[in-house]
Amino acid sequence: MSKFNLISHPILQHKLTKMREKDTNSIGFRGLMNEIGKFLAFEATRNIETETFDIETPVAKTKGIRPKAYPMVVSIMRAGNGMLDGVLETLPYASAGHIGIYRDKFINNTVEYYFKLPPNAKGRDVLLLDPMLATGDTMIAAIDRLKQYNVGKITLLSVLVSPQGLERLHYFHPEVEIYALSKEEGLNDKGYLVPGMGDAGDRLYNTTK
């Protein structure tokens, strides 16, 4: 069974198209990323385990439905933060954590500079947020750290993924499920996704050179 879920809904694909366009400014880019986060969270929790409970409408008593437990949302900073508010709008009862991690080309390794999870992380399912899966190194390191805390099922919500990153991630963590809007052609010589959308962090926060 494939662990990669490509979301091809035409409305989301139009939003992705607007994000790709180089003339979309940071305000527009942030808004689109936020909206995509909402829908990815909706798709990823479609089969969440639920329970029924008694409620009373203005007309009669009936049964309501709620998730047995909300997943823990974890953003890989800084680009993952662009999806975070949208995901939490869909999952308002979820708690959130942050991982600050990046790949340093000079030491040829990942560097962690921030790590904060809710105190009740053990055994909880995780929605991990990062809009781009390129080489996969940062994502693999983040998942390694989450597993040190004995979390439950980890699901990655992304926007764009490379074939190389997808293959590498599933080599090291084959159980991780991925939801994304596009599987890209590959990576260029600078490590950017092609056709991609540039540096998501720079475009989100208007730090483009």
Give the pTM: 0.91
Question: What does the DSSP 8-state code read for residue 71?
Answer: P
Q: Which domains does the chain have, with CATH numbers?
A: 4-205 (3.40.50.2020)
What is the reported pLDDT for 107? 64
CB 161 within 8 Å of CB 178: yes
pLDDT value of position 4: 95
Mean pLDDT over 127-149 rounds to 94
Q: pLDDT category, 191, cuts 50, 70, 90?
A: confident
pLDDT tens digits, 75-112:
999 899 999 999 999 999 999 999 998 776 666 677 88
Name residue 131's beta-bridge partners. Answer: none
N-term to C-term CA, the chain = 43
| Nearest-angstrom CA–CA distance, 192 and 62 | 53
Write the pLDDT tens digit of every residue in 17-64.
999 999 999 999 999 999 999 999 999 999 999 999 999 999 999 999
The pLDDT assigned to 22 comes to 93
